[in-house]
């Protein structure tokens, strides 16, 4: 099978021909239809935050069709369309993450544990459904972590793929959303998706200090975490989703005296994945797609995503 692989940390992905994986007794073989590209895939290629054994196949936003069942699998049929929950407990009990610590779906086939699969609703495109595995479930989980109420003032720093979904979810709750980004196209799309206002980081800091009940940070840099602290009201909550190796600049004195809540949010549960797919089926959650590409274009797509010039997710289609 064809696959895009990390063979050396920091080097471009290589298009390789690999043996088709064989599912174990509790696993299924899935033929990949589509797989989104996420910043975590860039982290894997660059060896930051995640360092799997090499060679490694990244890709953790897949949708596909069951091709074969392991000998002990029941309740599933060949031909069913599925999305995997990424966090898997292996038979020996240790945690694995599809596309991160074990081979993923930048390939024509991937293997996943049967108990981790969720069926794709019949009216949801696989191109959108695969994004539920990371972007969709991450947005649903972050909204739950944010504990948003109707009428809350919500700022979303980073109006890209996950940010677009947070805008939609916050809008449906009845929150007043301000989308913050440097990318003008992303801000225009955010307005169409339900953001009441849009702003650049600079303009938001100048005009909206301490005015938000909840602030979502989709970037996670020292600059954006400081911006989140500048924007949130006293006793407000900051939800950090974006990851980087930079330190927060806010002091414990500021956090204590302003009684700020700072919570992390990472992916979500299998139940929240099913919820994301249900919301897609109902039309309440629509991932923003920048474009679709072939597997051979996956490495330059990672670089483009890192540049911040994309407007939504780039999706590999097989």
Which of the residues are catalytic? 40, 43
Contacts of 79 (CB under 8 A, 6+ apart): 65, 66
How crowded is residue 9: how many other Cβ atoms within 10 Å of its Cβ? 13
Token digits for 318? 């097989």
**255, 122 Cβ separation under 8 angstroms:** no
> Can you list the positions of beta strands (E) in the chain?
2-5, 14-17, 27-36, 62-69, 81-84, 87-89, 95-97, 109-113, 117-119, 153-157, 176-180, 197-199, 212-217, 232-240, 261-264, 289-293, 313-317
Radius of gyration (Cα) for the chain, nearest Å?
20
The residues facing 81 across adjacent strands are 65
Kind of pairing between the strands at 81-84 and 62-69: antiparallel
Residue 86 has φ and ψ, to the nearest 5°, of -75, -30
75, two tokens: 């309740």
């Amino acid at each position: 099978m064809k696959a895009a692989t990390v063979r050396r940390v920091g080097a471009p992905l290589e298009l390789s021909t690999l043996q088709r994986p064989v599912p174990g007794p509790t696993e299924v073989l899935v033929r990949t239809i589509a797989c989104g590209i996420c910043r975590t895939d860039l982290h894997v290629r660059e060896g930051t935050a995640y360092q799997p054994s090499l060679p490694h196949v990244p890709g953790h936003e897949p949708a596909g069709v069951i091709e074969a069942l392991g000998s002990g699998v029941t309740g599933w049929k060949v031909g069913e369309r599925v999305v995997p929950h990424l966090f898997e407990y292996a038979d020996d009990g240790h945690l694995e993450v599809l596309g991160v610590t074990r081979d993923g779906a930048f390939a024509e086939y991937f293997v996943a544990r049967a108990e981790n699969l969720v069926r794709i609703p019949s009216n949801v495109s696989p191109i959108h459904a695969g994004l539920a595995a990371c972007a969709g479930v991450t947005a649903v989980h972050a909204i739950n972590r944010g504990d948003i109420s109707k009428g809350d003032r919500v700022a979303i720093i980073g109006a890209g793929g996950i940010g677009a979904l947070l805008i939609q979810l916050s809008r449906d709750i009845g929150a007043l959303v301000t989308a913050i980004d440097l990318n003008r196209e992303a801000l225009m799309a955010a307005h169409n998706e339900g953001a009441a206002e849009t702003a650049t980081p600079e303009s938001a800091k100048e005009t909206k200090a301490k005015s938000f009940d909840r602030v979502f940070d989709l970037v996670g840099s020292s600059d954006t975490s400081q911006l989140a602290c500048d924007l949130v009201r006293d006793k407000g909550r900051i939800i950090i989703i974006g990851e980087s190796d930079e330190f927060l600049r806010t002091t414990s004195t500021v956090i204590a005296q302003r009684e700020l809540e700072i919570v992390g949010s990472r992916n979500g549960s299998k139940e929240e994945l099913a919820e994301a797919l249900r919301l897609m089926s109902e039309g309440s959650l629509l991932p923003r797609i920048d474009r679709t590409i072939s597997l051979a274009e996956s490495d330059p797509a990672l670089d483009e995503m890192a540049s911040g010039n994309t407007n939504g997710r780039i999706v590999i289609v097989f």
